[in-house]
Structure 1
Amino acid sequence: MTQLSTAQRRIYKAAVRLFAEKGATQLNVSDLAQEAGVARGTIYNNVENMDQLFQQVASQLSKEMHQRVYHSFAAVEDPAERLSIGMRLFIRRTHEEPHWGAFLNRFALGDVSLREMFYSQATTDVLTGLEKGRYRFPQSHLASVISLIACSTLGAMLLVLEGIKTWRDAGSEAAELVLRALGVPEDEAQRLASIELPLLPALD
């Protein structure tokens, strides 16, 4: 993944906040500079094309979160446990970084890069779980299963953003319900949905 400079990280973080707040995929230079606390010239020096900024931010955010989640459960072999961890990490991060969560809630299902963040690893793990007999559903339902996982995660994130549920409750309940829907027994689904979460490692 392309490493961002300090100025670029600051600008991208400000862009995420503005995209989330405005619900639009276009920003003007003045608003972005003010939000990032930098001069307009810094924006021009670090943003190649304002018209493409949303896609650049979405792609960077997707790759970053995908890698961090992957590293967080790299040593976990059980696909059901990996699924529980992955979903709940997204929900916990929403509590820790509300603008990040709001950005995903507004745009994740409509943007290819952001959908990939949800779909790529989940698809691999779900197929592995199906092959190992951890899950019970027709493979022809795979696309619907991945959509269920993504929508359940985003829905739980929204509950956290709205203050309706704590991240722990929203995460555990969403993970348990998805695991049960995939055929994991109720008691085991409850256990997997409440195990302690690992840290979300920072990227070098």
Structure 2
Amino acid sequence: MASSILSEPVCPMSPVQKRIHEAAIRLFAEKNIGEVNVRELAQVAGVARGTIYNNLSSIESLFEDVATHLSGEMNRRVAKSADPEMDPAQRLANGIRFYLRRAHEEPYWGSFIARYAASNAALQEMWNGPPLEDVLSGLKSQRYSFRQEQLPSVISMIGGSVLSAILQVLAGHRTWRDAGSDTAELILIALGVAPEAARAFATKELPALPDAD
């Protein structure tokens, strides 16, 4: 759940580990896990193959490490972005748009998320972070009007909508601003927010996304 990810200690990576992770995101975004090898990873990371062997046990374990890191890192950054007293609908709208803006600014990150988030358990935890907290908060305060038993479907709707919008942005079909605002607006309306209020929440100026640490 959200609390477990957000409370996990952040283990800082060394500069070499960061380079390996960044190279892995790029390669995994373009290829299947089984198609990535140590030689190519070392080349993209700009390190010797021995350095790769010294920093990971297998390509498969590296993939899981990268997925877990991306999920926890994004959750922490989104959680830090909003005042706890902010309207949960505004927090949710901002969170949705943070994903779209980051996918635009970091295409490999966006491609990795879009490619694996529907099937990887670690990446699915992204939706159990701030999105889940904001949905529960909005339901408790009666900002939203869905039934409690519909919560899993609500979270699936949010995750699926964000991933579809990311694909539109990456393909160049829409800008991150338009895709993000429309996605946030339509999700809020689906949750019971009045259309005029949903539009206002979805188009309010988006703040900077804080660092994870």
TM-score if structure 1 supplies the norm length?
Answer: 0.96
| 2: CA distance, partners of 1:49 / 1:123 | 33
Give 1:148 deviation, angstroms: 0.5
**Aligned equivalent of 1:131, options 127, 140, 143:** 140
Preserved contact between residue 38 and residue 52 of structure 2 (Cα < 8 Å): yes
RMSD between superposed Cα atoms in Å: 1.3
8 Å contact kept, 1:73–1:82: yes
Partner of 2:32: 23
Could you tell me whether the CA contact under 8 Å between 2:17 and 2:55 is conserved in 1? yes
The answer as to whether partners of 1:25 and 1:54 remain within 8 angstroms in 2 is: no
CA distance in 1 between partners of 2:190 and 2:15 (Å): 43
1:91 aligned onto 2:100: yes
- Cα 1:181/1:12, change in 2 over 3 Å: same
| 1:2 paired residue number | 11
Give the residue type in structure 1 aligned to 2:11.
Answer: T
| Counterpart residue type for residue 84 of structure 1 | A
Letter in 2 for 1:119: N
Secondary structure of 1:10's counterpart equals: helix
Residue 186 of structure 2 aligns with which residue?
Answer: 177
What is residue 152 of structure 1 aligned with on the other side? 161
Instruction: Return the offset for 1:48.
Output: 3.4
Measured after TM superposition, the shift of residue 26 of structure 1 is 5.7
Question: Equivalent residue of 1:110, what SS?
Answer: coil
Alignment of structure 1 residues 37-186 onto 2, 5 Å:
37-186=46-195
Letter paired with 1:198: P
Identity %: 51
Gapped runs of 5+ residues in structure 2?
1-9
Could you tell me the TM-score, scaled by structure 2's length? 0.92
Partner deviation per Cα, 1:126-162 (whole Å, 9 max, x = no partner): 1111111100111111000000011111111111001
Runs of 4+ in 1 over 6 A off after TM superposition: none
Question: Structure 2 residue aligned with 1:187, among 180, 192, 196?
Answer: 196
Equivalent AA in structure 2 for residue 83 of structure 1: L
SS at match of 2:77: helix
Relative contact order: is structure 1 or structure 2 higher (C-alpha 8 Å, sep ≥ 6)? 2
